[in-house]
Amino acid sequence: MSDVKNTLLLFLLLVVITGLIYPLTMTGIGQLLFPHQANGSLIKEQGRVVGSALIGQYFREPEYFWSRPSATSPMPYNAAGSSASNLGPNNPTLAQHVTARVKALKAADPTEKGPVPVDLVTSSASGLDPDISIAAARYQIPRIAKAGGIDRSVLQRLVQENTHYPLLGFIGEPVVNVLKLNLALHARYAQMHPDKVVQATH
C-alpha cells in the first residue's frame, strides 16, 4: 500500500507541475515578454483584426499583390487544414498546376515577358505561407501599376518598406509579407481616391 500511495502522490505531483504550473508559467512569460506573438501575431486595421502576419490570405484583384498559391482544402489558406500538395517534381499533376498558374499570371499582364518567380506558381509545405520573395513582389508591379493607376516607383517603395530581411543578416531570405504590403497599398489608394471606397478581398 505504501508503494501505491507514493506512486499516486508522484502522479498527482507531475499532473500539477506539467499540466498546470508549467503551461501557466509559459503562458504568463509569453504574454509578458512577447504579447504580440503569443496572441497570434494579429494585424489590426482601424481597431479591427484583418488577419495574422503568420497566415497567408487569398488576393486576386489585379490592383493588389497576389500571394503564394495554397494547397489547403476546402479553401486556400485554411489554417485548420494546413497541408502541402504532396506532389513530387516529376508528378504530371504538379506540372499542370504550374502551367495553369503561369498562364493566369501571363493573362493578367500580357506585357510581362520575364520569367515567373517560382513562389508565384508553387505552394509552400504548409499551404499558409504569408510571404513572397522580393522577385515575386517586383514581378507584379507592372500589372498593379496599370490596374490601380499608381506609379511604379510608389509600388517599388512600398515593397522595399515591407521587406523583412534575414535574422542577423544571414539566417533566412528576404521576404515580403503580402497582407502588410496590401494594407499599405490599400492606404495609398485611399489617399489617391479619398471620395472612393476601395475594397480589398482577404
Distances from the Cα of 98 to the Cαs of 2, 72, 138, 186, in angstroms? Answer: 67, 16, 19, 29
Listed residue (123, 86, 84) closest to 101, CA to CA: 123
- Quote the pLDDT of residue 45: 82
Q: Please state the φ and ψ torsions of residue 144, each to the nearest 5 degrees.
A: -70, -40
Report pLDDT digits (tens) over 174-190.
Answer: 999 999 999 999 999 99
* Rounded Cα distance, 149 and 146, in Å: 5
- Mean pLDDT per 10-residue run, the chain (202 residues)? 87 94 92 82 84 89 94 85 80 90 93 91 89 96 95 96 81 90 94 65 45
The full set of domain ranges for the chain reads 1-39, 42-192
Q: What cell does 157 get? A: 517603395
